[in-house]
Structure 1
């Protein structure tokens, strides 16, 4: 059995956040690119059926592809992240998935409110202020990162590497 994740991949963000993620996010070192989590953990990989894959395709096919920009730095107690603006389309995707898979709440059910975000650095305490300053400086130099996700991805971790098991196109 392996862990799975439903996410929006945001390769456009790598130029701004890639070096931070390589250093401060263990998932990046295991092959998981810049992304916005929709549901984690999702379903153990051994339990994913063709019917579930079809349900994921159906959910995605009814939702317009989200467009957003990443220009604002946010934080949780030990995480530095970028906020997608507007957040509402991403919240709508996560909510549709939660309705389709009620046993698998958005954010894994660990947090009362789902906050769409692209994690840049995790488990940071002492270096948090410096990371925020550097990330804001990079955004000022680069400008906002614009994202358009044509599909959502089902990703699987075997505890060493993340790999994509499926892509589910959004309504175009």
Structure 2
């Protein structure tokens, strides 16, 4: 890992949370704001980090996995917090996210989720970092009427994350098989 131009992630975009997540990204590190109009900062990761420089055959494998998993609906309203203070929303149900990750790991065993740190990762949408003044109540109040968010996962995207160069590298519709 440690590609000089950042890292890649396979994810499901969640446009319903984009205004909030984009604003929080700007607050924390504006170098990760994308100028790519198709880039959605709000997302649920299904496999990351992914390959630094995927070949056409790798992209074909992603397409095949995406085609096998039907589009699905989910809701975001329940919060979680990781040990490092990352506040996140938990998609419910999360079974289709887990299935996507399972299939992608099977197709790309050289890309363990989170570098192997979390072999059974929890599907989540990161919203904030806990601080003295920022906690779940603060985030819930800031999101206001956005929650509960009723969402539809209908695509997988490949994003590159790098300072001053966050962009979409590919996209595949779910359930085309």
TM-score by length of 2: 0.83
The residue number in structure 2 matching 1:136 is 140
Structure 2: any 5+ residue segments left out of the alignment? 35-39
How far 1:158 sits from its partner (Å)?
Answer: 3.9
Equivalent of 2:68 in 59, 62, 66 = 62
Deviations 1:38-78 (A, max 9, x none): 12211112xx1110011110010010113111011111132
How far 1:15 sits from its partner (Å)?
Answer: 4.3
- 8 Å contact from structure 2 (residues 17, 146) kept in 1: no
The residue number in structure 2 matching 1:23 is 27
The secondary structure found in structure 2 opposite 1:67 is: strand
Alignment of structure 1 residues 154-169 onto 2, 5 Å: 154-169=158-173
The residue number in structure 2 matching 1:74 is 80
Which is further off, 30-39 or 85-94? 30-39
- 8 Å contact from structure 2 (residues 157, 171) kept in 1: yes
CA distance in structure 2 between the partners assigned to 1:112 and 1:85 by the alignment? 20
The residue number in structure 1 matching 2:10 is 6
Which is further off, 9-18 or 95-104? 9-18
- 8 Å contact from structure 1 (residues 21, 120) kept in 2: no
CA distance in structure 2 between the partners assigned to 1:16 and 1:4 by the alignment? 22
Q: Which has the higher helix share?
A: 1
After superposition, the CA RMSD in angstroms is 2.2
CA distance in structure 2 between the partners assigned to 1:128 and 1:144 by the alignment? 20
Structure 1: any 5+ residue segments left out of the alignment? none
The residue number in structure 2 matching 1:50 is 56
